[in-house]
Amino acid sequence: MLRRIELAVLALIIVVAALSTGAQWLFFLVYLGILVVGGSYVVTRFGLADLEAGYVLDRLHAQTGDILRASYTVRNTSRLPKLWLELRNPSTLPVELPAQAVSLGPRSEKSWSVRVPLTRRGHFRVEPVLLRTGDPLGMFESQASVGSASNVIVYPRVEPLPGWKLPPAFIEGSHASPVRTPHTTPHATGIRPYAPGDPYNRIHWKSTARNNALQVKEFDLEQTADVWIFLDLQRAAHTGIGDESTLEYGVRLAASVAARGLLENRNVALSASGAHIGPLPADRGPRQYQKVMQTLAAVQADGTQPFSHVLVEGVTRLRRGMTALVITPSLEKDWVRPLSALRGRGIEVEVMLLDAPAFASSERRETGRIEPSEEVISSEQRSARALRHALAEHDLRWHTILPMEPISGQLITRRERRLATVA
């Protein structure tokens, strides 16, 4: 804008001088300026005419750590060349899609693709392609939007938990691992030779004909116990920065446990204490996986309600045979009481305790902040010990999750340590 004002002032001075003095060379400058300015306007005005452009994303749902690929095509259907074009895709992605400057000959096209890493979970929007062109002197500019916007959902990272098993419930048909059963269930998993006493309705006649010997079906117990995940999103309880925060560890842990439960054909439900997150009813299958991941992709530590209130409301939905998995960084003891009576109702409980003081210390090291006083550190340690004592007093299983370590490794280590101590 400032450059245009300067050029306009200079042109006005030349015109006034030409009219005042009648000098031929000043009139030559006036005519040359009119020709240049007019030509620049015409070039810019028609610079986006007869253009076709578009983009395609290779995925609209991805996980943190995946690579998003965007493919672009721009086509010139005119007989005149396009000397300079800039294509840009505005977006809210954690890493911006890079812009591209191209030139096109008459009736030609160009295609290219770009890749950007998806470094953060969330719901993101990719705007339509923005085409921009201008004249060589930079006096005029023309732009247009092409195509439609796209929404990209980046799921939280799901970590494998090879050595950890969901707590078994207390009803038949809810074992955490397949177990052969003498009862007929919907899950026929194999065949074996007939033994005296086997009922005739369990004979698999096709295998019998193929093997020329009686074969009977074997069944597994159905893993029907629901898993209800309670995720603490109270703003005051969370600490840490970026991926090394209690929020991100809690979200990854909830995503990993939900994926594990759905893989075991369990019903999975989710209840979070965020400001705009309601309970997600229990269900199973790919659709439930998508619902859980879309919810976890959007959650933030924006809750104001104490976690104990969320548990008091949530445990009323639990029934015998369910498993409650609690994920929280809170050092308060009041949220333990709502869980204390669940085991007596036939509901298994397991707590994933995010070590908030350890995450806060890691954040201070990363940002160079001053360590708190000895009194503050001692108070946090006393609160942590009191919380662990309350969990042990009510016979609740728990894991402590620390920063800078893989979640799967921490669960395996602590579970094996507990089993070794019992043995």
- DSSP for 359-392, please give it: HHHHHHHHHTPPP--HHHHHHHHHHHHHHHHHHH
Closest by Cα among 147, 181, 187 to 55 = 147
Q: The CATH number of the domain where 257 resides is what? A: 3.40.50.410
**pLDDT score of 61:** 93
Beta bridge partners of 91: 126
Does 47 score more than 90 pLDDT? no
Q: Which residue has the higher pLDDT, 369 or 174?
A: 369
Q: Which residue has the higher pLDDT, 114 or 179?
A: 114
Does 239 score more than 80 pLDDT? yes
**pLDDT score of 167:** 72
* Beta carbons of 40 and 139 less than 8 angstroms apart: yes
**pLDDT score of 195:** 84
Whether residue 234 sits in one domain with residue 211: no
Entry pTM? 0.75
Calpha distance 320→346 (Å, rounded): 5
User: Which residue segment(s) compose the domain that 108 sits in?
Assistant: 51-155
Whether residue 188 sits in one domain with residue 147: no
Q: Is residue 60 part of a domain?
A: yes
Helix (H), strand (E) counts: the chain: 10, 21
User: What token pair was written down for 419?
Assistant: 């089993």
Whether residue 400 sits in one domain with residue 293: yes
Closest by Cα among 389, 379, 318, 321 to 353 = 389
Q: Which residue has the higher pLDDT, 176 or 99?
A: 99
Whether residue 241 sits in one domain with residue 211: no
Question: How many other CB atoms are there within 10 angstroms of residue 20's CB atom?
Answer: 9
Q: In sequence order, what are the residues at sequence separation of 6 or more whose Cβ sits closer than 8 angstroms to the Cβ of residue 400?
A: 353, 355, 410, 414
Q: Is residue 328 part of a domain?
A: yes
* CB-neighbour burial class of residue 420 (10 A; exposed 0-12, middle 13-18, buried 19+): exposed
Whether residue 232 sits in one domain with residue 200: no
User: What token pair was written down for 230?
Assistant: 């309670």
Whether residue 94 sits in one domain with residue 216: no
Does 152 score more than 80 pLDDT? yes
Give the ranges where 198-284 is alpha helix by DSSP (H).
205-211, 246-263
Angle between helices 407-422 and 246-263 (to 10 degrees): 70
Q: Is residue 397 part of a domain?
A: yes
Whether residue 215 sits in one domain with residue 116: no
Whether residue 417 sits in one domain with residue 300: yes
Helix or strand holding residue 62 (H, E): strand 61-63
Indicate the pLDDT class of residue 56, thresholds 50, 70 and 90.
Answer: very high
Residue position matching structure tokens 């098993």: 165
Whether residue 383 sits in one domain with residue 262: yes
Under the phi-then-psi rule, with left for phi > 0, alpha for psi from -120 to 50, and beta for the rest, what region is 133? beta
**pLDDT score of 7:** 66
Calpha distance 382→378 (Å, rounded): 6
Calpha distance 8→295 (Å, rounded): 55
Q: Please, what sign has the CA dihedral across residues 212, 217, 218, 220? A: positive
**pLDDT score of 205:** 86
Q: Is residue 29 part of a domain?
A: no
Q: Is residue 41 part of a domain?
A: no
Calpha distance 328→229 (Å, rounded): 11
Q: Which range scores top for mean pLDDT: 47-56, 193-202, 245-254, 339-348?
A: 245-254
Give the ranges where 135-237 is alpha helix by DSSP (H).
205-211
Q: Is residue 171 part of a domain?
A: no
Question: b/e string for 327-350 if b means 16 or more Cβ within 10 A?
Answer: bbbbbbbebbebbeebbeeebbbb
Average pLDDT estimate for 182-206: 73
C-alpha distance from residue 212 to each of 54, 104, 194, 206, 209 (Å): 63, 73, 12, 10, 5
Whether residue 265 sits in one domain with residue 193: no
Q: Is residue 10 part of a domain?
A: no
Residue type, 186: P
Looking at residue 203, the DSSP 8-state letter turns out to be B
* Beta carbons of 85 and 131 less than 8 angstroms apart: yes
User: What token pair was written down for 144?
Assistant: 């247009």
Please give the span between the terminal C-alpha atoms of the chain, in angstroms, as a whole number: 79
Q: Which residue has the higher pLDDT, 316 or 115?
A: 115
Between strands 67-76 and 51-57, the pairing is: antiparallel
**pLDDT for 261-316, tens place per residue?**
998 888 899 998 877 677 888 888 899 999 999 999 999 988 888 888 888 888 88
Whether residue 190 sits in one domain with residue 97: no
Whether residue 418 sits in one domain with residue 325: yes
Q: The CATH number of the domain where 57 resides is what? A: 2.60.40.10
The mean pLDDT of the chain is 82
Task: Give me the number of domains the chain comprises.
Answer: 3
Q: Is residue 246 part of a domain?
A: yes
* Beta carbons of 214 and 193 less than 8 angstroms apart: yes
